[in-house]
Chains A and B, each alone.
Chain A
Amino acid sequence: MTTSEVWTYQSYEAMMEDLERRGLGDGLPVVPASPQRVGEFIASSGRDADEVIGKIPPAWAPVTIEKIAINSAMAGCRPEYMPVVVAAVEAMMDDRFNLIGVQATTAPHSPMILVSGPIADRIKMNSRSGAFGGGSRANSTIGRAIRLLMINLGGAAPGVGDMSTQGQPSKFSYCFAENEADSPWEPYRVSLGYSPDESIVTVAALENPHNIHDSASYTAEDLLTTVCAAMVGGGTNSVYLGTSEQFLFLSPEHAAVIANDGFSRRDIQEFIFQHARLPSAMIGKAQFDFLRYHHSQKPYYHSLGLDAQRLDRIPIITCPEDLGVLVVGGPGKQSAFGPPTGQLSRPAWRRIPG
C-alpha cells in the first residue's frame, strides 16, 4: 500500500509537462511510476514502504523506501535494482559523505555509484567496455535514480538547491561496476575488508572520469608516472580544499602491465602517494598565497614532512590508503581517475543485501 499522492493524466505529454512545471525530474523523459509498478519495486526491496532512510538536503525531505521505489521506477530501473539503489542512498546518508555539501556546492561533483560484488553480474551491470557511459540499463538507471532522488526530494534543481557553477554530464548518471574478472588483484571490496561473497556499493562525490591514455609504457613505473602526471592538477579541489580519497580506475591492459612488474595494489598506492605531487611553479601567485596559508593549517601537511611555507610539492592524497585502486573497462590502454571534492566529501560504503 502506497501513501504518496496519486496524479492522473490523459496523455504521456501531459504528465511530462506537469512534472516540468512542478520542477520534478532531470529534463529527460521518465517512465510513469504507476502505483502497481511502484509496489513491485517496494516488494523487491524487502523493506517496509514507509521506512525512513534519512533526509535529503537542502530541502531535507524524508526519503522512504516508497520514494526510492517511485524515483527508481521513473528512472527506468528494474525492480531487482532496488537493493543497490537503497544501499547507495544509505551510504549517502553517512556524515562522511556530507550530502549537503555535495548538493549545494558550486563545484560540479556528482555521486559516483560503484558496485563491487556478485550482484553486479546478476543485474547485468556493465564493468567492461564503456562502463562509465550509456548502453547498460542497470548502470544508466541506477545512477539516474539517485540523481532523481537528489532533485525530487532534495530540491537540487540547478541554480536553486544545486549551486554548481557549471554542472557536469555525470549529474545525469554516474554508476558502474568493478571488473573483477580481469583484475590481477583481489576485488576492491576485499581490500576494504569485506568478504568476496558480499556485494557493496561505494559512493563518492567525483568529477567526471578523467582519461589517462598511455599506449607506450610497458613497465609499471613508466605507466604510473603517466598516471601521476594526469592526477596532479592545479585548480582541482584536492589541491584547493585539501587532500581526500581518490579513485584510480585502471583498464585491464594497464592493470596487467603494472601487475606484470610485480606491483600489488599497495605498491600502486604507495607510488602515487610518493610521486603525485603538484609543483608550486604550476600555481599562480594569489592561489599560491592562499594555499600556503590553507595547507599550513592542516596537520597532515606537517606530518608528511613537507614545508608548508615553500609549498613545494602538494600531495593529492594524505596517505597511500586514501587511493582506491580497481579495474574498470574493456580492451585498450585507457584508464581514468575521478577527481574528488577535496575535503568537502569523503567516500562511504554499504553492504548490498542479497
Chain B
Amino acid sequence: MMTSFSILNPGVREAPSAASMDVRQVNRAKPNVALLSNRKPNVDQLFAGLIEGLGGYPVGAIRRFEKEHANIPVPEPIRAEIIATSDLVVSAMAD
C-alpha cells in the first residue's frame, strides 16, 4: 500500500511580474504612441505598416525610440522617456 508523501513547491505562489505590474489609467482622447525599435532588419517595414494602420485611429503623437541592440533590455533613460511621453508602447520583435 502506497503511503502519502510530500514535496516542496519548486516555483512561486504567483508570477511576480504580473503581481507587481503598475497600471496607469489613460484618459487622453488621443493617446500618444511609442514605437520601440529593436534594430532588427524588418523593423522599418513593421513600423511603416503600424503608422499607416494607426492613421485610421484617434492617436496623438507617434514617437520612435531605438534600443541599441535587439537582445538587451531597453536602457533606463529611454524607458523613463517612454513612460513620461507615451500612453502606449509597441515593442517590435520584427523577426
- Chains A and B belong together in one complex: yes
Instruction: Give residues in A with beta carbon < 8 Å to B.
Output: 2, 4-11, 15, 22, 24-25, 32-35, 38, 55, 58-62, 66-67, 70-71, 74, 98, 100-101, 105-106, 148, 152-153, 155, 241, 286, 290, 341, 343-345
Contact (A61, B16) CB under 8 Å given A22-B11, A344-B71:
yes
Q: Are the CB atoms of A152 and B16 closer together than 8 Å?
A: no
Q: Are the CB atoms of B5 and A4 closer together than 8 Å?
A: no
Q: Are the CB atoms of A24 and B5 closer together than 8 Å?
A: no
Number of interface residues of B (CB under 8 A): 23
Q: Are the CB atoms of A155 and B4 closer together than 8 Å?
A: no
Q: Are the CB atoms of A153 and B71 closer together than 8 Å?
A: no
- List B residues 20-57 near A (Cβ within 8 Å): 20, 41
Beyond the given pairs A70-B8, A101-B72, 20 more chain A to chain B contacts, judged by CB atoms under 8 angstroms and listed by A's residue number, are A5-B9, A6-B9, A7-B9, A8-B5, A8-B6, A9-B4, A9-B6, A9-B7, A15-B5, A24-B11, A32-B5, A32-B7, A33-B10, A34-B5, A34-B7, A34-B8, A62-B12, A71-B10, A152-B11, A290-B41
Q: Are the CB atoms of B7 and A15 closer together than 8 Å?
A: yes
Closest to B42 in A: A290
Q: Are the CB atoms of A33 and B8 closer together than 8 Å?
A: yes
Closest to A107 in B: B71
Q: Are the CB atoms of A6 and B15 closer together than 8 Å?
A: no
Q: A146–B63 Cα gap in the complex (Å)?
A: 40
Q: Are the CB atoms of B17 and A59 closer together than 8 Å?
A: yes
A292: min CB distance to chain B, Å:
11
One of B8, B73, B93 near A2 (C-beta < 8 A): B8
Given the complex, which residues of B lie within 8 Å of A33, measured CB to CB? 7-8, 10
Q: A34–B10 Cα gap in the complex (Å)?
A: 11
Given the complex, which residues of B lie within 8 Å of A59, measured CB to CB? 12, 15-17
Given the complex, which residues of A lie within 8 Å of B11, measured CB to CB? 22, 24, 61, 152-153
Given the complex, which residues of A lie within 8 Å of B6, measured CB to CB? 6-9, 34-35
Closest to B12 in A: A61
